[in-house]
Amino acid sequence: MRQRGRPSSSNNVVPLATTRQRVPPPDDLSATERKLFNKLTATCPHLVDSDFALLQSFVQATLLVRKHRHPNTNDEAKLLHTACKIQVQLATKLRLAPQTRIGPKTTARRAASAGPTSAYDLLDDDDEPN
């Protein structure tokens, strides 16, 4: 007996590779830089080989911010400010910041399903007359 309808295209499906190669750390990174680099590549699966140079710069800017987070001189404060600016710009370009990975519609849906945002919202619900 012949099947009705359009024939299945399941024979034409090409399986996608489920494993991907992480971006290897460059040889000229210090041990601390290499550790942060590996942590980023492990937790951010969207990073690819073309992100290599930006990721290296982001790691170096992040460690510079950590080193000078309590500036003692005006020059250190300027360095901290510049490193923070670079860090934020690179995080945005590399899609490391949450707002660059999640669309506005997804954020709105999550906020709507999250329920009350504060204890005051819960109190307002209790004050309604019956």
What is residue 77's predicted lDDT score, i.e. its pLDDT? 96
Q: Please name which of 20, 89, 19, 91 lies closest in space to residue 49, comparing C-alpha atoms.
A: 20
Name which of 83, 84, 90, 97 is nearest 44 in CA terms. Answer: 97
pTM of the model: 0.65
Backbone angles phi, psi at 74, to 5 degrees: -65, -35
The CA-atom distances, in angstroms, between 101 and each of 52, 54, 106 are 19, 17, 10
Arithmetic mean of pLDDT, 35-49: 89
Rounded Cα gap, residues 36 and 78, in angstroms: 24
Q: CA 70, CA 108: separation in Å to the nearest integer?
A: 36
**DSSP SS3 for 6:** coil
What is the per-residue pLDDT across 77-130, written as a single tens digit (0 to 9) for each? 999 999 999 999 999 999 998 777 777 777 677 767 776 666 666 666 555 555
Please check whether residue 29 is in contact with residue 59, taking contact to mean a CB–CB distance below 8 angstroms: yes
The pLDDT, as a whole number, for residue 98 is: 76
